[in-house]
Amino acid sequence: MARRKVKPKFDKKVIIEAFAEMAREKGIDRELLQGILEETLSTLVRKKYGEANFDIIVNMDKGDVEIYLMRTIVEYVEDESLEISLEEARSRSEEHYEIGDEFIEEITLENISDSFGRRLIFFAAQTLNQRIRDVEKDNVFNEYASKIGEIIVGEIYQARPGGLLIMHNKIEMRMPREEMIHNEKYKKNQIVRAIVRDVRRMQGSGAPDIILSRSADQFLARLFEVEIPEVFDGLIEIKAIAREPGERAKVAVQSYDERIDPVGACVGMKGIRIHSIVRELNNESIDVVEYSADPKIFIARALSPARVKEIVVNQETRTATVMVPDDQVSLAIGKSGQNVRLATKLTGYMLTLVKEGGEDIELIEFRDELGREMYANLIELGIDTARELLDADIDTLLGIEGMTKELLLEIRSIILAEFEEEEKPAMRQKIMDAQE
């Protein structure tokens, strides 16, 4: 006796429960998943019935799915997806219908499956999975967009020439080379701390592009919040940061409690607080200075450890001329002009340093004209300012690799043009001496 093949039935409750479980596993809101299911079923109905009028009701709590097809009763059917004949309508229902009435018919999942079989299931699975992936990408984007500026801890799983790939909670992120501390060494499986710098949506099906940074000023600010309770509690505010990542930074702080010394609180007893930040930043030197609303006081503090004699401020142009004692010039300028450069960024004022004995211009102002290599050679000789270069021994200058009489004359002419007219005659004689 031949066996009759029994077609498996769709258990609506099982389907809904499977969707609910998926919602829990993927971290997708139940209502959102319900909408995805309704959208998927709508696509399937259109596959079978075209542009029909239908209504889909999904009840996640009861585990029920109902699909209703609505057609207009007509005498002669022209579009079967939108119309049904009066004769057929009356044969399907005991209700009394007339031309123009609406005929509502419930469609079962079995009805749809009969038309498409396995192709239907495959299509439904594809559509559903794509929508879930889209939702997951949106969830990741929204989660990390809300974390911009916050510190996360991740694990390096790949180091590339252009940057690092980092995993955090099974989400791939990247740290471009320009966001890294240049003198740090990174290796696979290393744990790193960084801030979320940016989150970008990618075109197509790509996951969000999450950018991390260790070189941003904000990363240093967040480390202060982590290591210094007074900063975290808002008793001390970070007013400004100037930083050359991996080398040196200046941080201006202000206390809102007169009993708290802002610099002392940030440094900690025996420097324990600031040292933990320095270690995190690969021994980046950090100067903590107290902020002042008085630009003269703030500029003087920003130029520490150098001591300055006098400061003339022009608030309209945001410039300041700083008179520095002879023995403090090198400290004020710093290695390769770093100290004055950071002080300028910290205060927001363009600073011009002059020696106490007369007007002078720091040599870094001429770095572009000199070229970086020549500038570095002059700094190594202890020549930090324009006047020092003009006063330097000619033979010593000509002994520098790459220096010629013609180049020296050109450099001196450029520097001379920056000084006042009354100072030019004496300096012009030096140029004539060099020509001889």
Residue 216: name the closest of 252, 180, 172 by CA: 180
17-50: pLDDT as tens digits: 666 666 666 666 777 777 777 777 787 777 777 7
Which residue blocks in 188-228 are alpha helix, DSSP H?
217-227
pLDDT tens, residue by residue, 300-326: 999 999 999 899 998 888 888 888 887
d(CA 284, CA 278): 5
- Look over the chain and give the mean of its residue pLDDT values, rounded to a whole number: 82
| Structural domains of the chain ordered from first start | 12-142 (3.30.1480), 151-215 (2.40.50.140)
Q: What tens digit of pLDDT does each residue of 255-268 get?
A: 999 899 999 999 98
Find the helix or strand (DSSP H, E) in which 164 lies: strand 163-168
Q: Please name the residues in contact with 140: beta carbons below 8 A apart, sequence gap of 6 or more.
A: 171, 207, 208, 210
**pLDDT computed for residue 4 by the predictor:** 37
Q: In the Cβ-directed half-sphere of 237, how many Cα atoms lie within 13 Å?
A: 7
pLDDT band of residue 285 (cuts 50, 70, 90) is very high
User: Which tokens belong to 357?
Assistant: 């004995």
* Residue (of 76, 65, 327) closest to 87 by Cα position: 76
pLDDT above 60 (res 121) = no
Instruction: Give the Cα separation of 162 and 320 in Å (integer).
Output: 40
Q: What is the pLDDT of residue 207?
A: 84
- Of 140-149, 267-276, 287-296, 353-362, the range with the lowest mean pLDDT is 353-362
Q: Each residue of 48-66: pLDDT tens digit? A: 777 778 888 877 776 677 8
Label the pairing between strands 319-324 and 285-290: unpaired
Burial of 224 (0-12, 13-18, 19+ CB in 10 A): buried
Q: Which range among 77-91, 184-198, 211-225, 231-245 shows the weakest confidence by mean pLDDT? A: 77-91
Q: Which residues pair with 163 in a beta bridge?
A: 160, 176
SS (H, E, C) 88-143: HHHHHCCCCCCCCCEEEEEECHHHHHHHHCHHHHHHHHHHHHHHHHHHHHHHHHHH
pLDDT above 80: residue 1 = no
Most confident option among 7-11, 12-16, 178-182, 425-429:
178-182
Give residue 324's pLDDT: 87
When pLDDT is averaged across residues 155-180 and rounded to a whole number, the result is 92
* Out of 194-203, 311-320, 359-368, least confident range: 359-368
Q: What is the mean pLDDT of residues 108-134?
A: 63
Task: Please state, as a whole number, how many other Cβ atoms lie within 10 Å of the Cβ of residue 17.
Answer: 13
- In the beta sheet, which residues pair with residue 219? none
Tokens of 413: 């002419």
CB 86 within 8 A of CB 73: yes
Q: So what's the pLDDT on residue 428? A: 46
Distance CA 346, CA 248 (A): 12
CA separation for the pair 82, 50 (Å, rounded)? 9
Name the region of 318 (left: φ>0; alpha: ψ -120 to 50; beta: rest).
left
Backbone φ, ψ for residue 30 (5° rounding): -60, -40
Q: Is the pLDDT of residue 69 over 80?
A: yes
pTM, whole model, 2 decimals? 0.65
Residue 63 structure tokens: 């585990």
Across 271-429, the runs of DSSP E, i.e. the strands, are 285-290, 310-314, 319-324, 350-355
Give the dihedral sign, CA 374/377/382/384: positive
Strand-pair category, 236-244 with 310-314: unpaired
